[in-house]
Structure 1
């Protein structure tokens, strides 16, 4: 049987997850003496990946705290920059974030991504197996227990999504060092080594090439280079100024 209700106050950054808490940011939930505070917060709609400090009567408690009637609960957002202990910072993106994956790779950030939908259980298991931070807009996926670490991507616009990730995690950037197609590392290549991938105009116009050490794809400063250069410059500048 459910016990007394408690009131949970969510920080403004988390209101989008709890429509019934608007506009005050406060929602009510019944306690049962068994369910943890983390479970209660997720049942109200907020993935724990987005939760920073949990405060009960002004005292920080872990997600495993068992709430009791009369307690005052405040839920704070994750602090930026967010530190992910225990492994090098690497990412795994779900099938809907292909453009973001390519832009992170362009910046030299280790980013796993498959263009086919692996399914939620497989993605969560891969995150745990490779210790990668899963980026997704799927709240249900981010609540899976086997997930190693995750983060909700708030925007639907790739340029804003990229800035979100840079602001939240501050990954080390090493532009032009990864294959945007497969995430492999790039090496300098001669024109002869990549000749089979070059059309006549490219072969005549360019002399500087790179090649992916994993999939063999060739790279050169083609027609879209200025656009890619602008993305890189904005990203590097934003992390420098942070």
Structure 2
């Protein structure tokens, strides 16, 4: 590029996206082309705009559309938590996040999931069409202009992924109300309705059943219940703690 130089610094929470040479607290000099927007410059340095909460230019708040000029000092901050959305959080997860999708559904969170690799363009188009937040560890996908909203999943461990998403978006939780297989809503069911799907002996051991209104899958409290209960209890405990912290801050 043959244009003005600017000085760009990033909050430490964004360093995962930025080359080591550009992580200095005082910032790093970056040469621009003199025509690109600040948002484009930030993305060219590796940070998806989905992860940017605010931008400042010489200490003043700025929009991503600003075109930087020589010697301006830019600071890039991460999104605030919980991150506000126009409506109730609804998610779309890429092919690599199946376990996270099932755990979100277990908590009653609307989480669509693509089992096949349908490609970044199709995922971004689905995000826009259904107004869903894409969750992905694919940075390239999060750079696509057509997606409605997105968020980078920072960890590769499902339990940490779940905590991160719940803390970032604070979706309402309604455990045991969604099908973990297809994301459909569950309804109470009688023994007669679910009997064809029961394992031998199950009807003598359990008396509470549900059916998915979308795919017809039957649910009952099985031997795996303790592990699922632990996931639900931990998520509810964290949600209560967050709600208490927000209320305390507001009163303070």
On whether the aligned pair clears a TM of 0.5, the verdict is yes
**Is the contact between residue 134 and residue 151 of structure 2 (CA under 8 Å) also seen in structure 1?**
yes
Question: Hey, what does 2:245 align to over in structure 1?
Answer: none
Deviation of 1:84 after TM superposition, in Å, equals: 1.0
Alignment of 1:160-199 (within 5 A): 160-199=160-199
Taking the aligned partners of 1:21 and 1:32, their CA distance within structure 2 comes to 20
Deviation track 1:108-151 (CA, whole Å, cap 9, x = no partner) reads 00010021111100000000000000000000000000010000
Paired residues in the alignment total 241
Please tell me whether the aligned partners of residues 20 and 27 of structure 1 are also in contact (alpha carbons under 8 angstroms): no
Give the superposition deviation at 1:27: 3.2
C-alpha offsets along residues 26-73 of structure 1, whole Å, 9 cap, x if unaligned?
A: 333212221000000000000000001100001111100000111000
Corresponding residue of 1:42: 43
Segments of structure 1 that go 5 or more residues without pairing to the other structure are none
Given the alignment of the two structures, is residue 207 of structure 1 paired with residue 207 of structure 2, yes or no? Answer: yes
Deviation of the 1:206 alpha carbon: 1.4
Secondary structure of the 1:193 match is helix
Q: What secondary structure does 2:81 align onto?
A: coil
Matches within 5 A, 1:76-95: 76-85=77-86, 87-95=87-95
Note the aligned Cα RMSD (angstroms). Answer: 1.1
Residue 151 of structure 2 corresponds to which residue in structure 1? 151
Return the alpha-carbon distance in structure 2 between the equivalents of residues 52 and 196 of structure 1.
Answer: 51
Corresponding residue of 2:113: 113
Q: Post-superposition shift, 1:23?
A: 4.8
CA contact (8 A) 2:9 2:23 kept: no
- Asked if 1:137 is matched to 2:137, the reply is yes
Counterpart for residue 101 of structure 2: 101
The alignment's TM-score, normalised by the length of structure 2, stands at 0.93
Normalising by the residue count of structure 1, what TM-score does the alignment of the two structures yield? 0.97
Q: Write out per-residue CA displacement over residues 94-113 of structure 1, whole angstroms, 9 at most, x where no aligned residue.
A: 00000000000000000100
